[in-house]
Structure 1
């Protein structure tokens, strides 16, 4: 309990320091707001152009040649920053680039996009995000619990579907966790990066197939392994979610 009081005291002192800085350096915070809005507007414009037409993405990657993986990495990173649901895009990496390269692109995009979103939230939109989640009970409880078990909870929540991964970057940006803790917990995204790349390599090309499954020939063994893989994935997600919930409830109870 003593540790909890010291953390709360440190947070209060930090908040008071920020209030003092804001009063002494109003232009600094004005420029932060302007830069943040410019990043947001640019991301919205580019994101809208990219994600309203998936055929454009396909053509862009094909025309990029050897730069295709880098182009797709940028697109996926931007999608994460823009809070676009990215599972289908991460599946497409397996479709376009195969399992190994797809896994690498998914993981790097999760790290790069996550870190950018974290910094945008922490340094430009902290107050806005706090207001946005003020009525979300789960997000508020998570923020409080992170004061006690920052790394453990952020790691487990990242692996569970309690909060969408893209939104979690911004929720964590206003929490007490350090940048180092965020980066370490974000590395757990390799688990879902692997899953998406795997299913993308097997099933993803069906999405771009004009005749769907009719053009995809799999043996009986392939289908059995695929179904078993899906079942194993669902079981793993359920187990991880239960562990996360129990850890979350335990930390919340101790903090009270």
Structure 2
């Protein structure tokens, strides 16, 4: 009996250490991907993709998928999609790429982390109730958070995978990315030059500034809506747990 307890303790300890190092690695990865060097690498990749002809869209989608899974911010890639493919096809390719990448990250979050969350919630009824409530409003929550560019897209993919939100609601809710996608792609199409693309915080001409204001307005409305929705869900979950 004592030997089994020691083995169980060692197993739990080992899992805890592994989880800690994975968390630390992800944190370092997130910091690293925001460096100027990574942005330069993305611009170089976009230039190569621009020269691939018919294979360009395939390479673009694959690159976007990998970036999403690795927590690399997609703003440069989204703007680059507009610069390379124009507003119409650029919006299509970016939406397909971001949705597929989001699904991959969602699956990783669900199948690698969900078990730990379930074990934790067994002793916390309030969190169980909140998890159920989130699953009931899954489509609305995903749609509203996708509508708001202020929510960290890459991190949100993994976080939603840990919840009970269904894959169907997750995919349908991803259509909330369309307005922001079109606005960013449009901004990239105005630039038209990969080398001139930078993070979307340095708008200078009137058209770019108009795009920035549209994005900010959409973000504000979506943030208010998400806050109200989550507050209502949390209140419902608390009532259920009581």
TM over 0.5: yes
Query: Quick check: 1:161–1:241 contact (8 Å CA) kept in 2?
Result: no
Q: Aligned pair in 2 of structure 1 residues 148, 209: CA closer, same or farther (>3 Å)?
A: closer
Deviation of residue 53 (structure 1)? 2.1
Q: Aligned pair in 2 of structure 1 residues 142, 198: CA closer, same or farther (>3 Å)?
A: farther
Deviation of residue 200 (structure 1)? 0.7
Match of 2:177 in 1: 189
Are 1:172 and 2:154 matched, yes or no? no
Q: Aligned pair in 2 of structure 1 residues 240, 59: CA closer, same or farther (>3 Å)?
A: closer
Cα deviations by residue, 1:131-173 (Å, 9 ceiling, x for unpaired): 9xxxxxxx99985651442221222122224531111111111
Give the gaps of 5 or more residues in structure 2: 1-21, 120-126, 199-203
CA distance in 2, matches of 1:129, 1:184: 24
Q: What's the RMSD between the two structures over aligned residues?
A: 3.5
Deviation of residue 85 (structure 1)? 1.0
Match of 2:223 in 1: 241
TM-score scaled by length of structure 2: 0.68
1:86-235 equivalent positions in 2, closer than 5 A: 86-127=74-115, 143=131, 145-161=133-149, 163-203=151-191, 205=193, 208-209=195-196, 223-235=205-217
DSSP 3-state at the match of 2:52: helix
DSSP 3-state at the match of 2:155: helix
1:39-118 equivalent positions in 2, closer than 5 A: 53-118=41-106
Match of 1:251 in 2: 233
Q: Aligned pair in 2 of structure 1 residues 146, 173: CA closer, same or farther (>3 Å)?
A: same
Deviation of residue 103 (structure 1)? 0.3
CA distance in 1, matches of 2:177, 2:128: 23
CA distance in 2, matches of 1:231, 1:144: 36
Deviation of residue 109 (structure 1)? 0.7
Query: Quick check: 1:148–1:255 contact (8 Å CA) kept in 2?
Result: no
Deviation of residue 51 (structure 1)? 6.6
Deviation of residue 88 (structure 1)? 1.7
Deviation of residue 99 (structure 1)? 0.9
Give the gaps of 5 or more residues in structure 1: 1-36, 132-138, 213-221
CA distance in 1, matches of 2:214, 2:153: 21
DSSP 3-state at the match of 1:84: coil
Query: Quick check: 1:103–1:194 contact (8 Å CA) kept in 2?
Result: yes
